Amino acid sequence: MSTFAKPLLADIWPVVAKAAADAGFELFGIAPIDDTPELEYFPRWIAAGHAGEMKYMGARDDQGRLKRASVLHAAPWARSAVVCAINYNTAQPYSTNAHDSSRGWISRYAWGQQDYHDAVMNRLRQVESAIPNAVHSPDLKTRCYVDTGPIVERVVAKYAGIGWLGKNTCIINQRLGSWLFLGVILTSLDFESFGEPSIPAPDRCGTCTRCIDACPTDALIAPYQLDSNKCISYLTIEKRGEIAEELRGGMGQHVFGCDICQDVCPWNRKAPVTNAPEFQPRKELVNPALEWLAEMSTTEFRAVFRESPVRRAKRSGLRRNAAIAMGNSGKRKFLPVLERLSKDEDEVVREAAVWAIKAIGRA
């Protein structure tokens, strides 16, 4: 490590603040890297199987330790983190106000012109490149993360003062709500002291339980605790193959992700909207036609979702989800398309279509 005196937070703060604002981030903060109480919950979450089939969440280092249980497992050199947050909310209605059951619901975060991983990373790199101008530290090391490495970003964000961890497990900011993407820059800078203005925001959930009450699949098993196996976001994006039948009804019209526990949150009632060009919605992705998604060819899927997080679900998953949403609609008009899908080359799509035909029959 450097033999230089520890830098002062006050020295780097104005430079980082300017770089973050220039890069379009509404919020930013700097946190020390410590093992915080929230991370004690992480090994329990993994042990309980709440990560479902997301194997990468349980990745271990050479010593057999869960990488995500401490930032120091993934980056032993890290001493502080610059956390930036950007609003992705737009003026479109919330899913809880979209009542046409013949259309699907893609989550707000996936409507944009560019995949948020790339959009936020490009902006974060601008902030990263300003750090060496602010401190004289010959051994300076930095590393950027936007959902791209083994750290629990929301916990680091809390300690950087971005917001509190809500009962829906999202980071919520008192002024902006929770429609926020996070970007984290780990740094080797060991500051003389932290404190103001980087102090954790107080928990403002109070006695509210709206998110827990509204979750259609009871995925919020307790305040601050989410079981991915039940979460519509996990089921529609991460889960490969068949989805358990008992969870399909609760998925409603969701075909990619889920916004319900944020739509109902009082802190999002007056959430401002963003001007960032990358997050302006592609109109065709807001409340899309289910037939369009279900019968999308490989070529069209690649073209439509080229720069989109929706690629993560793969064409198979998206068409499976669209078939399930058709079943949930109870609408007979979907029977011809479902008949065709029941003979599809993809076994997962076939099975979902057969289930949906039966569901419409029952309705």
Q: Tokens for 317, please give them.
A: 């998953």
- Please give the helix or strand (H or E) that residue 164 lies within, else none: strand 164-165
Site string for ligand SF4, 211-240 (x = CB under 6 A): x---x-x-xx-----x----xxx-------
According to the binding rule CB under 6 A, does residue 261 interact with ligand SF4?
yes
For residue 147, indicate whether it is catalytic: yes
Interface residue with ligand SF4, options 258, 276, 313, 338 (CB under 6 A): 258
Q: How far apart are CA 46 and CA 12, in angstroms?
A: 37
Please report, for residues 108, 181, 290, 298, the alpha-carbon distance to residue 315 in angstroms, rounded to integers and kept in the order given.
19, 25, 13, 7
The CA-based dihedral angle spanning residues 296, 302, 307, 309, taken in that order and rounded to the nearest 10 degrees: 60
Q: How far apart are CA 354 and CA 324, in angstroms?
A: 10
Catalytic residue (choose from 147, 190, 203, 346): 147
Instruction: Give me the least distance between CB of 311 and ligand SF4, in Å please.
Output: 20
Instruction: Enumerate residues 266-305 that contact ligand SF4 by CB under 6 A.
Output: 266-267
Site string for ligand SF4, 179-218 (x = CB under 6 A): --------------------------x--xxxx---x-x-
According to the binding rule CB under 6 A, does residue 52 interact with ligand SF4?
no
Radius of gyration (Cα) for the chain, nearest Å?
A: 22
Interface residue with ligand SF4, options 167, 239, 248, 320 (CB under 6 A): 167
Q: Which residues of 245-284 are buried (b: 16+ CB within 10 A; e: fewer)?
A: eebbebbbbbbbbbbbbbbbbebbeebeebebebbbbbee
Q: Which residue is closest to ligand SF4 by CB?
A: 166
**Best CA proximity match to 187, nearest among 15, 61, 60, 69:** 15
Task: Decide if 50 contacts 97 (C-beta within 8 A).
Answer: no
Interface residue with ligand SF4, options 114, 168, 187, 328 (CB under 6 A): 168
Task: For ligand SF4, give the closer residue by CB, 209 or 275.
Answer: 209
Instruction: Give me the least distance between CB of 83 and ligand SF4, in Å please.
Output: 19
According to the binding rule CB under 6 A, does residue 82 interact with ligand SF4?
no
Instruction: Give me the least distance between CB of 99 and ligand SF4, in Å please.
Output: 17
Task: For ligand SF4, give the closer residue by CB, 211 or 294.
Answer: 211
Task: Decide if 344 contacts 302 (C-beta within 8 A).
Answer: no
Q: Tokens for 118, please give them.
A: 């790339």
Catalytic residue set: 147
Residues engaged in binding ligand SF4 (CB under 6 A) = 166-168, 205, 208-211, 215, 217, 219-220, 226, 231-233, 258, 260-261, 264-267
